[in-house]
């Protein structure tokens, strides 16, 4: 705006514009008068004509020069003002434009997907995440139901490290217990623990009898008390003097007291139990394990060089009989005096498994390949999720609850 005002003022105030126009006009009038009035050749007046012509040319040239100077003055003034104005730092970014606020995009409407065909099923398809042997069990595919009373969860799992020992544990309610209306509770229970100095791992696995109405409570009490009492024995008498009779006698007292508190007989809380204490490896890398048991739960060992779980302790069933009996000869809390124990040595990389008969019966069956599968799958520790899926295996006639706790001497090969 200020540049335009200067230029208009300069045009109005120029002192030469009027005089130049008057001189040019006088020159033209005199020349014309001489040409017209004299009417004779310019021989006598040519010097006068030439003088007037030269004067006109000079005046015209001077006027052009003055006008050019006047026209250039505003440009020089603008240039001077620009030079006096501070210039921005060349390193500073220049804001060339300001972006308008972003307009939120309208979410695209997903294209309609064609409906997928649904297969016609009478029951839930078999879970493909669990290993399946043969044709599997039909009950494996039925929906899981819930018991009428509040009970322990249908699935339990753990993993832990105690010194150089690695532990995985899982318990899954069996297909035969979970698909009825109402469903039966998981009657298996396990507990894992350690000594205060972490030199010993402690394991207890209980299996409540199906004939006992509250056997799940009996199994939970037995397994919990077993770990607590074994920790006490380790601290008082030491690993080498663990007493299985005293241990199972005190566990029986706890189960009996629990039954009395619920106003039921001891037979309603009947359970079998297997326990173990695994010591830290010695200088040769060998870990000694103490195993005590009452009933048909069992202990198995695995040599990582041989793909086979071998029976090590527990109440072995007569597999040669025409009918394999599931009747137990000893149980808590009524027969603690029948508990027995033994020691097992675990070489480096070897494993000890404590299992209920839902797993042990499948491992002991020579007609199937369940044992071989688990020997390869558990040759070394696996994640607890994978371990739990394995415990939930699907096999013909394997309908009972299944529980396994495996202790590896080391982290595996």
Give me the residue spans of the domains in the chain.
2-10+17-78, 138-409
pLDDT for 4 equals 46
Confidence of residue 15 (pLDDT cuts 50, 70, 90): very low
**pLDDT tens string 184-226:** 999 999 999 999 999 999 999 999 999 999 999 999 999 999 9
Report the range of poorest mean pLDDT among 134-143, 312-321, 402-411.
312-321
Highest mean pLDDT pick, 10-19, 213-222, 328-337: 213-222
Fold of 138-409: Phosphatase 2c; domain 1 (3.60.40)
**pLDDT tens string 71-113:** 555 556 656 665 555 554 444 333 333 334 444 555 555 566 6
pLDDT for 93 equals 38
Confidence of residue 300 (pLDDT cuts 50, 70, 90): very high
381 CB neighbour count, 10 Å cutoff: 20
**pLDDT tens string 220-277:** 999 999 999 999 999 999 999 999 999 999 999 999 999 999 999 999 999 999 999 9
Confidence check: pLDDT of 10 > 70:
no
Confidence check: pLDDT of 118 > 60:
no
**pLDDT tens string 172-183:** 999 999 999 899
**pLDDT tens string 21-75:** 556 555 555 555 555 444 444 445 555 555 655 665 555 555 555 555 555 555 5
pLDDT for 12 equals 44
Whole-number percent of the chain with pLDDT over 90: 62
Confidence check: pLDDT of 352 > 50:
yes
Average pLDDT of the chain?
81
């Amino acid at each position: 705006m200020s540049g335009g005002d200067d230029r208009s003022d300069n045009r109005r105030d120029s002192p030469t514009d009027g005089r130049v126009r008057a001189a040019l006009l006088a020159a033209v009038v005199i020349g014309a008068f001489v040409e017209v009035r004299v009417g004779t050749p310019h021989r006598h007046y040519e010097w006068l004509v030439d003088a007037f012509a030269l004067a006109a040319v000079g005046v015209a040239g001077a006027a052009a020069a003055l006008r050019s100077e006047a026209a250039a003055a505003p440009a020089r003034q603008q240039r001077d003002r620009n030079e006096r104005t501070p210039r921005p730092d060349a390193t500073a970014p220049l804001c060339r434009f300001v972006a308008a606020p972003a307009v939120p995009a309208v979410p695209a409407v997903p294209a309609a997907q064609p409906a997928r065909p649904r297969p016609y099923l009478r029951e839930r398809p078999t879970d493909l995440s669990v290993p399946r042997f043969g044709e599997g069990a039909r009950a494996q595919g039925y929906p899981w139901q819930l018991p009428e009373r509040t009970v322990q969860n249908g699935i339990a799992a753990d993993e832990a490290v105690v010194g150089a020992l690695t532990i995985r544990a899982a318990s899954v309610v069996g297909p035969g217990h979970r698909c009825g209306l109402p469903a039966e509770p998981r009657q298996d229970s396990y507990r894992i623990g350690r000594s205060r100095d972490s030199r010993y791992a402690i394991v207890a696995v209980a299996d409540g009898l199906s004939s006992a109405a509250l056997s799940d409570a009996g199994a939970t009490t037995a397994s919990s008390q077993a770990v607590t009492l074994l920790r006490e024995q380790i601290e008082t008498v030491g690993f080498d003097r663990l007493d299985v009779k005293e241990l199972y006698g005190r566990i029986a007292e706890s189960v009996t007291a629990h039954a009395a508190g619920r106003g039921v007989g001891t037979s309603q809380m009947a359970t079998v139990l297997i326990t173990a204490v695994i010591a830290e490896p010695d200088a040769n890398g060998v870990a000694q394990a103490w195993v005590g048991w009452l009933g048909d739960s069992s202990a198995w060992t695995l040599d990582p060089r041989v793909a086979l779980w071998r029976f090590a302790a527990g109440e072995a069933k007569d597999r040669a009989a025409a009918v394999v009996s599931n009747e137990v000869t000893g149980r808590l809390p009524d027969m603690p005096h029948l508990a027995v124990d033994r020691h097992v040595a675990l070489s480096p990389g070897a494993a000890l498994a404590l299992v209920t008969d839902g797993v042990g019966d499948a491992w002991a069956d020579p007609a199937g390949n369940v044992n071989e599968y688990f020997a390869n799958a558990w040759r070394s520790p696996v994640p607890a999720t994978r371990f739990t899926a394995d415990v939930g295996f699907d096999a013909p006639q394997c309908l009972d609850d299944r529980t396994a706790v495996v202790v590896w001497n080391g982290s595996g090969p």
